[in-house]
Amino acid sequence: MIKRKITKKIWLGNVAIGGGEPVIIQSMTNTLTKDVKSTIRQIKALWKLGCEVIRVAIPDEESTYSLKEITKKSPMPVIADIHFDYKLAIESIKQGAHGIRINPGNIKNREKIKEILNIAKEYNTCIRIGVNSGSLDYDLRRKYKENIHLGLVESAINYIKFFEDNDFTNIKVSLKSADVITTILAYEKFSEISDYPLHLGITEAGTELPGTIRSSIGIGYLLLKGIGDTIRVSLTAPPSKEIIVAKEILKNVGLRKLGPILISCPTCARRDIDVILLAHKVEKLLSFVKSPIKVAVMGCAVNGPGEAMDADIGIAGSKEGGIIFKKGRVFKKIKNDNELLKEFLKEIKMLDKEWQNKEES
């Protein structure tokens, strides 16, 4: 059981963040924000997949005006991502953004920050202080050299002090780097000295596979240490992939029940079935399942049920066709491949229903 650090609770629209609330999944649109129709379509698609907070980039004034309709039609809170221009931050807040993200590395003028804080206070908008190693101040970079994680922390703390001096505490913080170790060290250090909620992520994590690995190590490690209130898996891939990976991370560290966990064997010379094909078919079949059941796809009936002993339900190839097993015990033997999948699906639906009934009662 993970002992989570209890941070200060803040509200992003209707979503509670920190204070022991469930870790929230965040992603970012890659449409043009001023193309309101496409952006809303993508936001709704990501919401259906399990995204809970969405961030949109605000590169220009036109994009700020789009926020009015986007925030109205979005089923989840919308964060405006601001770089450099404080006026875009102010207008985004006025147009209804539930939160904004600013980077201490690129909005430095204190008077301008003060103006942002005043408007954010007026509209009760939360601000993520998003420190990024790529845009860290030259002075901090020089001061900390190899210990750049300390520079990330100091940058965030300096910004926070200024916010607090101006009576603003509706804050969330991120300390991202493309380097996994630097990111981990920065979040650990910050978490020791501050109670503000933390948004976790490895920035510029890369394409789908390496990005998934880096994010799983970095975000997964921190979550297991009890650190983190929201997460974003940054991938050079369609944002839908970010949601799938985020959900897998949260399920596997045991922090959220977000549907089934699929396990499957790597196959070997003992296999009696095409496990790769079957596992992909089962993965698709599971898309409707809400319950956190563990489902196994194994290559042979000799070792499969035993190796997947803790699976609630599993399927394995056999010399005669296939078997369905539950908690390591053979439940049904089936000869025909199509029948095998049909029967398997029927059993899964029953387990899913049982779980949902239990949840409701």
Binding site for ligand SF4 (CB under 6 A): 265-268, 270-271, 298-300, 303-304, 307
Least separation in angstroms between residue 267's CB and ligand SF4 is: 5
Query: Which of residues 189 and 271 has its CB atom nearest to ligand SF4 in the complex?
Result: 271
Least separation in angstroms between residue 276's CB and ligand SF4 is: 11
Query: Which of residues 216 and 267 has its CB atom nearest to ligand SF4 in the complex?
Result: 267
Query: Which of residues 270 and 290 has its CB atom nearest to ligand SF4 in the complex?
Result: 270
Alpha-carbon distances, residue 45 vs 128, 286, 287 (angstroms): 24, 18, 14
* Tokens found for residue 152: 């990330």
Least separation in angstroms between residue 331's CB and ligand SF4 is: 17
Q: From CA 337, how far away is CA 321, in angstroms rounded?
A: 6
Alpha-carbon distances, residue 213 vs 235, 248, 257, 262 (angstroms): 10, 12, 21, 18
Least separation in angstroms between residue 279's CB and ligand SF4 is: 11
Q: Given the DSSP bridges, would you call strands 261-264 and 78-81 parallel, antiparallel or unpaired?
A: unpaired
Helix, strand or coil, per DSSP, at residue 249: helix
Which helix H or strand E contains 279, and what residues bound it?
helix 275-285
* Residues 281 and 275: beta-carbon distance below 8 Å: no
* Tokens found for residue 26: 């965040």
**DSSP strand E in 4-142: where?**
10-12, 15-17, 24-28, 53-57, 78-81, 99-102, 126-132
Query: Which of residues 83 and 294 has its CB atom nearest to ligand SF4 in the complex?
Result: 294
- Return the closest-CA partner of residue 18 out of 228, 241, 271: 228
**Which residue number places its CB atom closest to ligand SF4?**
299
Least separation in angstroms between residue 338's CB and ligand SF4 is: 21
Helix, strand or coil, per DSSP, at residue 201: coil
Least separation in angstroms between residue 299's CB and ligand SF4 is: 3
Least separation in angstroms between residue 222's CB and ligand SF4 is: 32
Query: Which of residues 2 and 309 has its CB atom nearest to ligand SF4 in the complex?
Result: 309
Least separation in angstroms between residue 133's CB and ligand SF4 is: 41
Q: From CA 326, how far away is CA 115, in angstroms rounded?
A: 61
Query: Which of residues 218 and 305 has its CB atom nearest to ligand SF4 in the complex?
Result: 305
Query: Which of residues 211 and 317 has its CB atom nearest to ligand SF4 in the complex?
Result: 317
Least separation in angstroms between residue 281's CB and ligand SF4 is: 16
Alpha-carbon distances, residue 72 vs 69, 101, 190, 203 (angstroms): 5, 19, 35, 29
187 exposure class (CB count in 10 Å sphere: 0-12, 13-18, 19+): buried
Query: Which of residues 58 and 298 has its CB atom nearest to ligand SF4 in the complex?
Result: 298
Instruction: Provide CB contacts within 8 A for 173, sequence distance 6+.
Output: 128, 129, 130, 131, 156, 160, 190, 194, 196, 197, 198, 199
Dihedral of CA atoms 148, 149, 154, 159 in degrees, nearest 10, equals: 110
Query: Which of residues 127 and 298 has its CB atom nearest to ligand SF4 in the complex?
Result: 298
Query: Which of residues 202 and 273 has its CB atom nearest to ligand SF4 in the complex?
Result: 273
Least separation in angstroms between residue 306's CB and ligand SF4 is: 9
